[in-house]
Structure 1
């Protein structure tokens, strides 16, 4: 079998043979690199050899002035030089180079390359791509190191392969004579023996090249050889030999027999020959098995026809001119065209018009030059519907290498393409609302900025966040929240133009891109339309829900010239809209950046607030309204920063919540409050429980119960003297996790209070199941209590409900005598506020407790108890 026969067999589409267990699919183009070592034809042999030595390269490519390869010279060629000639190295490289240069296509496999090396008995090939551009040089060494035949090499012992007796020379022989004998015996390495009877050395082609450069042709071989010779035993595997060569950076190893005598040398060429031999053996074995199967059935043509007829892939055979000669049933099933419809015509009958003329010209050029083309194409069925197919076309050549036929094998991949499009859609769209997601939104925003910049116009970016969505979601459930988000998406889309983009970034955050802005007033009108579109009530869970939104607007280019800056500024403006009362929109202004910087400074300062001892606790007394006696206190946190000064809780608490620093700070507050309470309790001054607020993030921590237990034990404070406050929205979390946590805290013995009651969406059925002790009426209902009948009615209702449920009502924010009298007359048990006392530091609280104890001791009920500190 010739090399061309093997190549034709490998390309024959009628064969489906597993020809080898060696890496038969990996192509040589995967490892060669385009960095070629080159020289011009007039370059001297000495200069070419020097370059090869410096580049540690076994060959140099000789190119003309147009960069075309006209020859190649390798380290093996150095043996052909007459080293006794003092002018041998000064001759031009063109006088000794091999020409023409042998080439290999980049897409052949390593196994095929091994056959080429063996067939031509050379060690270097120039690798070319489909356009005949040079991709690099492939050597025998590359094939051996990258063949991927580890399993075969591990099974094969060195002793099982034929080894020629090594060429051995005396150590005193000059290098020039050694090179002559190597050339004469066609050996690429020689063993150097020494008179001292010690271990032999070795000289290789590469050594000769290196030493010739150094003009050591007359130096004795013994002085130049590498010694000792690296050896291994004959029972060692070829895999270990290859590994040892790689590790020691050598290409020859001595092979010792069982008596420790040198049997011969094994080199890269020997390993390559074994790989190629094994490959050919497996190929012949596969072909033999196929022939035996065909001969056994005595119906060679019938079997081939059966495969052709029964395969699920569509097949069409054309002649060299592209005229269809035959198709199989699968072709007709996929395309709808019968054999009679298409025989005698060209494949153009399938054309959908989706591919350009240049596409088909490239395909035909590839077939004519390489006999192969593979890719995806959109064709048309007989009924006019398009379909996607994966098509492989292979040229079938005669003995002269001329393509006589082309075989096209294709698979219908329409469903796969639809699945890919679906996956692409899912990767770029929000699965809940169908709107573009963050990925697609950022792509469109960047594209819009580019277009707007090119046309020298303006565009607007809106950042929308639903107001109180978390409360609605937590109260009515996540399914209701999802339906709300879908309804919001529909309303936003219906309000905007088709040219505008609305996207969902996640949660309840939406963005809108408004392009081609002529007047900023138009943007304001669009924003107002969006606000108005959402203000109408939605029916969810048999309840009317008002899903208002806050919108921040940034204008390109005045508010930012890249996507990230615009998005950040629109987000900043949205927060300003929230602070302005929600259900409105705000344009970004430069002073908002100052607000952002301030938040960043606060967040940075909070990181070390505990370490720097900048935090302190204040205490606001609680009073029993009917007797005006001190009955407890609430702990309030204060922060005085070295750079920022006294930062109000309304500024730093939200930042601590957003950055998760509230967890460490909250634990610090609880520990210090309990320690102080124990101090007062030991002094006999503590009049009632000390109340500490727990944030939503704290209460949802898995270890919160353990944390509270440890703090109580460390401070030695009885649990009944600690009251933990949580907000109404947190208490109404319907995940039941909060309910279980509250039950566990109650089991510790602490008191539980709901703060800011009346501001959320409480379910009374759920409320009565919670193990709480206190309802704190929000200050918003107390402020106008003495003037607003509605507020007064709400306070009376909450107070009555609390008593009915066995809870203690306490009013926050009492500042006027009228409020105090109304609350006392309508059954509110406890109260706190500026009318009694402002929050005070620990020293002033000490004084209040001592005074309160003295009043109780004297039993003076008419003594004044209001402290307007």
Structure 2
């Protein structure tokens, strides 16, 4: 109906617009007719006046006056309607005098008043108004002619003059009259186009509105159908519409499709009874129960409720099928539960609200020996006590009555009088009012599981290898010892024991031998313990010992001495005799901490101090130890960020040829510009970098920086010289070291002869066989190798036979007392003699005095390095010193272009 109403309204609108357009067209027709009458009257007036001027005929004068009056009426209507103040009847009468069509008069008045500024109308009216004065002059000429003819007639000259004036006025009026007619015609055409477009637009708008309304109505209809279909398909029950006459399915929802395994279109047309397994349906009151057939062969038990309805004139039965598989399963489960109770391994007791036994299963009789006949007159809690022998408390029954479930261990008795531990679980069954109707108790004999639990608790609290307490158990004992010491104003101490060089045992023998060694160590620690003492292994080769019952912390020193002596005795492990030592840290309550975590941490810090300073000794904790540890941790964290933040930089210390005093090389020295601690020397962070595994990254940065600096010096046209840099054992022995060197040389495009790597004796010892391979590879590249700090390590002369050794750097410890120390003189001279015989260039480190310089020069040392010549300098200062025209130079260092030692 809304669509029909809208269609009627749209048609009415279009008809109304068409009628309006017709009325406007009629008005335009009347206006055009008026224009035609005006133009005709204007032209006829000129003709009549021309004839009257020639003949003086009364008839021509009357004709002129008639047309002139018509022009006057039109002009008056035009002007009075434009002003907006007029009498409509007068205007209507004036237009009637002008031969206007009566039906068009209202439209003409409306256009004069309201459409006078419309396109073309404004130009037409302007052309019309431009003729007003000329027409008025025609009236003046007619009056003059009338007066002349009344006075005896005009002269020939007068008549010619008047005719000339009439012709001139006609020439003026005629083009404007034509323009007026043309503009009126154009305006009518334009108005027709506007009317057509308006009617077309209105028709389109009305059609669009009708289509939109139709779309919304159809969408609502479709939405209603979709909602119905959604409700129909989303129903949890299966719904089937069945033709009552033939039993055929007319429609089925999605649940029916899912349950039956058939497509909804496939269901339509099927016989409703074909959905069920043959012979499975049976009546159950007002409903029917049957087995719904599925495509996968699994039947589903459903309960069907039917009702008769009408679709149009067709009787239809609506069948709603509800899945009762769960209900059937629950009934079956109840039956199974009754059977399971009789066969379950745990004992089950069902008692009434007074806790008197009503039912027990066979397992309970087997566990306790009591029969149901005996127990029916007893409460089941009469034969049970708490582990401490007290009756079951009333709080148990209150908890169960409040809806809880109590589970706990109790002591129970058998019919033979023996007792056993039992796990008892009690719950309640309530009636509709929420009151306890029955108690259900499940009992389990936990004799074996309790023994297993005790073994598990022991394993949880002890180290599986040594049998000592683990960390958690140790902390528990430590807490108890602290509480006891606090009550008695005594003291307790924690010893942190760490084996020295235990890693070497694992690496040299095997981890199995290492484990057996740890067992021996645990036995010796346990042998030294007193009555109040506890030992634990907290990981690896670290042990802790708790000494209780002390008066002061210092009493722990006696135990520490005994333990160090015991651990230093040789240990026979299989076929090996191993001698160990340990470092011990001691922290005591109340001086060093008030909780186990603090005592263990402080003892650990003291152990670290003992291991760092001496080994095979003990140290008592002092706050400074933790400060050092924290400082190491903070420095380690900063060290990880130093490379990313570009905090490292290089300085270069010149190496001087003693004989000539010229600079032949520089050594690149690493510095760390710490953001808070300022400049740090290598000995402050290199050991830490080695322990954190960062030394290889630092060495790689140093090598790249040195190669880049050499490249910059070459670009600055400085004399070429050798640059030495230190290499750690971790870097020197890494498989990728040689490749990284080749890559750095290729990237910087410098000669390999410009580099020299310095490696210490201790690093050579750690690298073993890999040392010679690496040295040979570097020598093949043309890179020099120097043994640094020679004489301070193992000083094996076998090192000097390795291929690729080009330089020998004598350590500063042998130089500082020259030439006063005869021992140092002998050692240095021996080193120089050996190096000379092997054709190895010698470099003396740490030269600080002229006497040292002169002695080494006489002794045959080739190069020297030390503060006597120069400290480590920035690269810019080295560049200034070696530039061709330095601003100033020291008298000691002659700037001679260096030449390489030997290749």
Normalised TM-score (structure 2): 0.47
> More relative contact order in 1 or in 2 (CA 8 Å, sep 6+)?
1
Q: Normalised by the size of structure 1, how large is the TM-score?
A: 0.49
Q: Which has the larger radius of gyration?
A: 2
